[in-house]
Structure 1
Amino acid sequence: MREKTLTKPQGILFDLDGTLLDTAQDLGETLNYVLSTLNKPPVSYQQYRPVASHGAAGLLKLGLGENWQSYDVEKLRRIFLDYYLNNISVHTEFFDGMAETLSQLNYYNIAWGVVTNKPAFLTDVLLTQYPEFRHSQINVSGDTLKVRKPDPAPLLHACQHMQINAEQCWYVGDAHRDIEAGNRAGMQTFVANWGYTQDERPVSQWQANHIIEHPCELISYFS
């Protein structure tokens, strides 16, 4: 979808799960732990990976099946979150090329930060496991404000903290709600097509400004 080189942005914001970090395996193994307590069969990686961006609720619905409402979902969600918190970075790692991309942003003096729907008590613990996040200017979680994506407020809050204009900021994410939030905030939006992009609509219909297949492509848009 790229048509021309863009002006160097004042800042770039990223979604977390499925964009910066590949968290699918730790989330999926947490789901399978919960299922084991119910004597239910595990879910395969191929099944849970596309759903990883949908959080505990989405994963539990996947694992419990069409009768998921017959379970005490809130109790299972608490079990899920407790187990995940204690096993949050066993298999999680940056997507290929992402750490290098963040290093390049530092080199070009482009401020960057994280805007995720992940709750803060998980986000804060996860980010401390990776030294690259010491350079993040702002980390906005799903409960930082009263609203979360697809509402644009978390993105605008991040821009205000970073003292940059939303129109001069890019947002990169792997879910339709990311692109919707970025578009509503007036940002240049990028689909991280390496992530967990399962949605009822193909990514070509998300109305993103750009679709990129590898993190390193991001730098080429202004360098």
Structure 2
Amino acid sequence: MFHGVRCVLFDLDGTLIDSAPDLGLAADEMRLSRGLPSLPLEAYRSMAGSGARGMLSVAFGLTPEDERYATLREEFLNNYERRMMHCTGVFSGVEELLDALRSRGLTWGIVTNKAQRFTQPLMAAMPLFADAAAIISGDTTPHAKPHPAPLWEAMRRANVQPEHCVYVGDDERDVRAGKAAGISTIAASYGYLGLGDVASWQADAVISQPGELLSLLGP
């Protein structure tokens, strides 16, 4: 159990929202346009937290070092931008969790590696997130996670010190960023997880559904 928590910071994709369907379909559209067979959503889901890099690795076996990567990445991002709210929604239990945090008088915020190009319209379309104390995108600060700079900026905006904050995320880089920022970390094992083994991340706690967070924060 964590004590003295005043603010909870969350990753976005795979922690608060399930964006895997729209991310996967944006990449799959590229396969279909090239005469390749469609892949099932489950092929994309585990890598959805890695954005374009993850989706292109599944769809085409590409890495950022491939000479075609930059061009295909921009095509993917344009596809995703057109459809990013078609199938995306919050995970079951997230609305109730945020309501409970509010009722306890706790502040909360979002720290994501998603670019503002996508974060801002998503947040505008989801009133549930309107009272976030901070929304930090991947390009809000000069560095993205696992660098601690985005978390430092979120804490500055929320007016909270590291010892009074926890960070919840579904990727190893979330835990690494939290540790580097001096924040207690919670791994969301219901999220995308990438290729990682949650146990190896050495987060301070692991939750298998959003509501489990409340029991970690004390009465």
Q: Give the TM-score, by structure 1 length.
A: 0.93
**Structure 1: 4+ residue segments shifted above 4 A:** 66-71
Question: Matched residue of 1:102: which SS?
Answer: helix
Deviation of 1:56 after TM superposition, in Å, equals 0.7
Distance 1:113 1:69 in 2: 33
* Contact 1:50–1:197 under 8 Å retained in 2: yes
Deviation of 1:66 after TM superposition, in Å, equals 6.1
Of the three residues 198, 202, 206, the one matched with 1:203 is 198
Deviation of 1:126 after TM superposition, in Å, equals 1.0
Residue 35 (structure 1) aligned with residue 35 (structure 2) = no
Range that drifts further, 56-65 or 109-118: 56-65
| 1:73-222 matches, cutoff 5 A | 73-200=69-196, 202-221=197-216, 222=218
Unaligned runs of 5+ in 1: none
Distance 1:207 1:131 in 2: 33
* Contact 1:10–1:164 under 8 Å retained in 2: yes
Distance 2:144 2:63 in 1: 28
Distance 1:176 1:112 in 2: 21
Question: Matched residue of 1:128: which SS?
Answer: helix
| 1:125 partner amino acid | P
Corresponding residue pairs, total: 218
* Contact 2:56–2:62 under 8 Å retained in 1: no
**Cα distance, 1:69–1:144 mapped onto 2, change above 3 Å:** closer
Q: CA RMSD in A?
A: 1.6
Deviation of 1:69 after TM superposition, in Å, equals 6.3
Deviation of 1:140 after TM superposition, in Å, equals 0.4
Deviation of 1:149 after TM superposition, in Å, equals 0.4
Distance 1:40 1:151 in 2: 37
